[in-house]
């Protein structure tokens, strides 16, 4: 069995800042989702620090994961469960100390879901009111119990589940990562089979979508699935940040990547510094498309979130009717859209029949979250390229002034 990870996070329609964070480490088989606590200092920092702390702790004890993978004895399985619990407790300490250092006594905290899949065994660690679901045959089953005042009343029979949906204070949680020096972590261990999905969501998703809807939307294995969940949440109000990660178990081994794609990507300045393993990871997120001459990729003033790498052909970039750049093999256009999707500042026109590698912002964001090595090298390449473009533009303007 191999794993596929898809995720999406969105600020929603009301909040000024996205305080959710998610992280995927495909090599570890790890996904982490965290939601910064409202009313405390910089929930976005808390959620980011917490996610990274979980991953860093598990990387330090990767040998225990490998030992269980080689020999799935119960005591080795218990050790992996302990390591995941320790990872969340380590995250708690990191967020707590960050709060002490940064918040002037206000404190920091976040909810957290961490899921680790080793071979055919899934390990779940849970704190707060984010949730983990197991989806099979388009049916979602909630695995975790919300750590909230209202959920506790439901468990004790003082309130029905239906009453809980609209109860005052339903977002008041009873446990959080980083709010106190220590935290109690719930853990689960169970078999995970091909065809099943593990879904991690923040309460911004479950506020607007029923369990049954989540099951249907993530049933198909596709990068579009988490985007569809976020879209529905926004359409229904989007009063909170929305974050979802889907882990899909697939039969067999990952399909091979066409060597031509790797060669074509390697020619691009954007990816030329990547290792062979890193290049394969990027290739998995690429959509190859052929475009006829005359096709407009985007227009000045449009909002876009895609980067286009020219593998064959030619793309001309204009601004205000003037040509500012001609892109040939190995060149790219739209880099800024991967980091921040403002209105396009230029128009890109395919001027010769072209083959382009297209990478969307969500797919690129997932790559950055999964692999800091890729992130650092790609972002450095982008910075250098943009610097070259700015210098060339300044030089052209200087010559025109004279």
pLDDT value for 339: 64
Question: Per residue in 3-26, is it b (16+ CB within 10 Å) or e — as a string?
Answer: bbbbbbbbbbeebeebbbbbbbbb
Question: Per residue in 288-313, is it b (16+ CB within 10 Å) or e — as a string?
Answer: beebeeebebbeeeeebbbbbbbbeb
Cα–Cα distance between 373 and 353 in angstroms, integer? 34
pTM higher than the cut 0.85: no
Q: How many CB atoms lie within 10 A of CB 142?
A: 15
- What residues does each domain of the chain span? 2-250, 259-401
CATH classification number, 259-401, choose in 3.90.1010.10, 3.40.50.11540, 2.30.30.90, 2.60.120.10? 2.60.120.10
Cα–Cα distance between 205 and 226 in angstroms, integer? 10
pLDDT value for 176: 95
Query: Among 10, 1, 32, 11, which residue's Cα sits nearest to residue 245?
Result: 32
Q: How many CB atoms lie within 10 A of CB 318?
A: 15
Cα–Cα distance between 68 and 78 in angstroms, integer? 9
Say if CB 127 and CB 183 are below 8 A apart: yes
For 186, how many CA atoms within 13 A lie in the half-sphere containing its CB?
19
pLDDT value for 311: 84
Protein fold of 2-250: Phosphatase 2c; domain 1 (3.60.40)
pLDDT value for 255: 72
pLDDT value for 372: 79
pLDDT value for 357: 81
Q: Is the dihedral of CA 283, 388, 370, 133 positive or negative?
A: negative
The per-residue DSSP string of 29-44 comes to: TEEEEEEEPTTSS-HH
- Mean pLDDT, consecutive 10-residue stretches, the chain (402 aa), reads 87 90 89 88 89 94 96 96 98 94 85 97 97 96 93 83 75 91 96 96 95 94 87 94 94 75 78 85 77 87 80 92 89 75 82 86 73 85 83 80 64
In 33-191, alpha helices (H): 43-60, 62-70, 74-102, 149-155, 161-165
Tokens 């570890």 sit on residue: 28
Polymer length of the chain: 402
Cα 56-128-6 angle, rounded to 5 deg? 55
Cα–Cα distance between 312 and 353 in angstroms, integer? 8
Q: How many CB atoms lie within 10 A of CB 119?
A: 14
pLDDT value for 395: 81
Say if CB 65 and CB 197 are below 8 A apart: no
């Amino acid at each position: 069995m191999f794993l596929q990870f898809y995720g999406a996070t969105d600020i929603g329609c009301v909040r000024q800042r996205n305080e959710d964070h998610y992280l995927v480490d495909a090599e570890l088989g790890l996904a982490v989702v965290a939601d910064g606590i409202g009313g405390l200092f910089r929930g976005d920092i808390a959620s980011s620090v917490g996610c990274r702390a979980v991953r860093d702790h598990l990387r330090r004890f990767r040998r225990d994961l490998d030992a269980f993978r080689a020999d799935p004895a119960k005591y080795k399985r218990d050790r992996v469960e302990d390591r995941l619990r320790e990872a969340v407790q380590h995250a708690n300490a990191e967020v707590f100390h960050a709060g002490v250092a940064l918040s002037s006594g206000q404190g920091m905290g976040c909810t957290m879901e961490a899921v680790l899949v080793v071979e055919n065994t899934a390990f779940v660690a849970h704190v707060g009111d984010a949730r983990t679901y197991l989806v099979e045959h388009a049916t979602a089953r909630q695995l975790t119990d919300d750590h909230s005042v209202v959920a506790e009343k439901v468990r004790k029979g003082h309130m029905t589940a239906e009453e809980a949906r609209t109860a005052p204070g339903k977002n008041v949680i009873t446990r959080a990562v980083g709010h106190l020096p220590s935290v109690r972590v719930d853990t689960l261990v169970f078999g995970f089979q091909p065809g099943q999905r593990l879904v991690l969501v923040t309460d911004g998703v479950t506020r607007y979508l029923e369990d049954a809807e989540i099951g249907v939307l993530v049933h198909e294995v596709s990068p579009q699935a988490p985007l569809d969940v976020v879209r529905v949440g926004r359409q229904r109000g989007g009063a909170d940040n929305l974050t979802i990660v889907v882990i899909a178990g697939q039969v067999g081994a990952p399909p091979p990547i066409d060597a031509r794609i790797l060669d074509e990507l390697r020619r691009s300045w954007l990816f030329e510094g990547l290792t062979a393993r890193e290049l394969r990871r990027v290739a998995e997120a690429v959509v190859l498309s052929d475009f006829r001459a005359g096709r407009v990729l985007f227009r000045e003033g449009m909002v876009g979130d895609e980067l286009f790498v020219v593998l064959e052909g030619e793309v001309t970039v204009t601004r205000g009717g003037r040509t500012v750049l001609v892109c040939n093999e190995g060149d790219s256009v739209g880099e800024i859209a991967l980091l921040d999707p403002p209105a396009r500042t230029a128009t890109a026109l395919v001027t010769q029949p072209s083959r382009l590698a297209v990478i969307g912002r969500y797919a690129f964001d997932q790559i950055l979250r999964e692999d800091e090595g890729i992130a650092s090298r790609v972002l450095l390449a982008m910075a250098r390229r943009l610097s070259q473009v700015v210098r060339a533009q300044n030089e052209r303007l200087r010559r025109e002034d004279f």
